[in-house]
Amino acid sequence: MTTTSFGTLPCKDLLSIAQLGAGDIETIFDTASALKADRNAYTQVLANKRLGMIFEKDSLRTRFTFDVGMQDLGGSAVFMDHRDAKLGSRESIKDMARNLERWVHCIVARTYKHRALEELAANCNIPVINGLSDHLHPCQGLSDIFTLHERWGSVKGKKLVYVGDGNNTCHSLVHACALLGAHITVCTPEGFEPNSRVISESMLMARESGSDIQITNDPEKSVANADAVYTDVWASMGQEDEIEERAAIFENYRIDEELMALARPEAFFMHCLPAHRGQEVTSPVIDGPNSIVYDIAENRLHVQKAVLVLLMG
């Protein structure tokens, strides 16, 4: 099967879910479903295509799923470790971008500064995919909602509650919910709310989709009657010096069996991983029958394969 059978996305790059429309997300989901249904049926879709992977941060899921995904589709991936030499330190990001576009067909970058991704994308003619930045995590957000989409058929009208730090994962989840009409409540300690610009742009999307977006500081009220409860680490990569301070601040925002019991009986528990058991979530919750954390991790592979096909086709 050729790449044209799957169509394309309207954007050159995927730096943010906010670049997409609801129909674009449905296209990604349909493509991911087809690729997932038979991993052996599309082994030549990206034959002779090469992916450049530039990572400033450690990674298990992002690195493996993009690398394995390219292999599944007949292509290859080249990994560049920038943990010791940050982007732009050895040579300008502009020059790096203009070199890479001569060698590979797409770049996935996992960076500290979102601006570095924007600079890469602005200076090359090949697609750039955000594998995570300090601001957004679009591949995660798409995989989260795709996993719910598989179970519910549609997330429209469902209540998702995110409890914890208003971070990059939270931002992309809010974008996705706003576009697809899911209701989302973000519950954080005071001072750790999501970025106001992300919320403002999501509110505009929500007017069209019917999504309701709430920002609160009360975990119990937030989780009541939720269809899904999501959390993430309290201190992201780059915030290691804040771990002890944040642990005290977030103590009452831990997802334990008592808090989950306030959600609907069938409510799913979600986490992007890695998880710090006993901190943001207890083991009985993450290992419980309603946890879909490993399904989400699996779907990173299929959703990212869909993104690769739709951007490189």
Which residues are catalytic, by number? 110, 137, 140, 232, 272, 300
Residue 242: which residues within 8 A CB-CB, separation 6 or more? 235
Beta strands in 190-311 (DSSP E): 213-216, 228-231, 268-271
Would you give the DSSP letter of residue 174? H
Query: Over the Cα atoms of the chain, what is R_g?
Result: 19
Q: Which amino acid is at 85?
A: A
Burial of 283: CB neighbours in 10 Å, binned 0-12, 13-18, 19+: exposed
Half-sphere exposure of 26 (CA within 13 A, CB side): 10
Amino acid at 297: A
Burial 118-132 (b: 16+ CB within 10 A, else e): bbbbebbebbbbbbb
Chain Cα centroid distance, residue 98: 27
Residue 152: exposure state from Cβ atoms within 10 A (0-12, 13-18, ≥19): middle
CA 8 – CA 60 distance, rounded (Å): 28
Do the strands 159-163 and 183-187 form a parallel or antiparallel pair, or are they unpaired?
parallel
CA–CA distance, 183 with 159 (Å, rounded to integer): 5
Q: State how far the Cα of 284 lies from the Cα of 259, in Å rounded to an integer.
A: 12
